[in-house]
Structure 1
Amino acid sequence: MSAPHTDVEQVEAANTAFYEALERGDFEELASLWLTPADLGVDETYHDPADSGVVSCVHPGWPVLTGRGEVLRSYALIMANTDYIQFFLTDVHVSVTGDTALVTCTENILSGGPAPKGDEELGPLVGQLVVATNVFRRTPAGWKLWSHHASPVLAENDEDEQDDTPE
């Protein structure tokens, strides 16, 4: 496989790497994909890293998390409490303007928790549909995540449709 050449291809590769690191439970790799103050040329010995290029994250049902430490702690918590997770990304759209890129996608998530007591297999697998927006910044080391925002998609059913026929 050849290396990506265009900005869009590079952003797509960074986005894919983010989800693959999460699937593997590779915290070090996942952490390396998030923006750091050093990526922005900020000397952390003289500037508060929390004020420089603040990263943010919204997991479905969670409040906004800000700052690299808080965001990475959330992923450590998710990884520690999820035995299996797999993302099937659909509707992926990438837009690049200068040193900023926006990726929107649908995360079709399959996950499983701990097995019932005494069972070697995973507990029941659960599917979830989530829409996500990932914002990346260009750095000397490549494209890095600046923000991730994910929101559940509510299931539609027949009761949601309005009946316009008069009674």
Structure 2
Amino acid sequence: MVLKSRGAPLFATSEEAEQAFYDALEQGDLAQLMAVWADDEDIVCIHPGGPRLIGHDAVMESWREILGSSPVPIRPTRVHAVQSMMSSVHTVVEQLVVDTSQGKQLVNCYATNVFHKGPTGWRLVLHHSSQAPADLGPTELQDVPDLLH
């Protein structure tokens, strides 16, 4: 259940915050997207193939550029979460639909989303996304180690 604290959403769980993040991308809503992020100069965002962006202004400007052309048709799948009392690390496979010269294509990216719990609920402090290998089929997107040692 998402509550509001002084106009900003209060996410009771890291899962709620992550869902709000991806909903904002699909709706192309920069204000909603940035409401998920911690209001902190230590936040970090790395887009596929892009530089490391540090700080609220740099992160916001990058999303403004991305969302400026259109909403992002994206769906997080295969969520794996490791959680403690005050932090949560989610790794997901992001499925994006992109326009190419051959028409619309499904692209998969691996993403890591790190959330911290504070007085305003759960907030995103790091988003790092990179393109997944092109030769992975939809059923092969679950990474399984070849050998445990």
**Interval containing the TM-score (normalised by the shorter chain):** 0.7 to 0.9
Which residue in the other structure is 2:95 paired with?
108
Task: Give the counterpart of 2:47 among 56, 59, 65.
Answer: 59
Aligned pairs, number: 126
Q: 2:36 aligns with which of 33, 37, 42?
A: 33
Distance 1:68 1:126 in 2: 31
8 Å CA contact 2:22–2:75 kept in 1: the answer is no
Q: Is the 8 A contact 2:80 2:90 kept in 1?
A: yes
Secondary structure of residue in 1 paired with 2:38: coil
1:154 is matched with 133
- Between the aligned partners of 2:23 and 2:63, the Cα distance in structure 1 is 13
Task: Show the counterpart of 1:131.
Answer: 110
Measured in 2, the distance between the counterparts of 1:12 and 1:112 equals 29
Uncovered stretches (5+) of structure 2, i.e. residues with no partner:
3-11, 137-149
Cα drift, residue 131 of structure 1: 0.4
Structure having the higher strand fraction is 2
Deviation at 1:77, TM superposition (A): 0.3
TM-score of the two chains, using structure 1 as the length reference? 0.69
Checking the alignment, whether the CA contact within 8 Å between 1:11 and 1:94 is kept in structure 2 is no
**TM-score normalised by structure 2 residue count:** 0.76
Q: Which of structure 1's runs of 4+ aligned residues deviate more than 4 A?
A: none
> What is the distance in 2 between the residues matched to 1:111 and 1:25?
15
Corresponding residue SS for 1:146: strand
- Percent identical among aligned pairs is 32
Query: Is 1:99 the equivalent of 2:86?
Result: yes
Q: What is the RMSD of the two structures over their aligned residues, measured on CA atoms?
A: 2.1
How do residues 140-151 of structure 1 correspond to structure 2 at under 5 angstroms?
Answer: 140-151=119-130
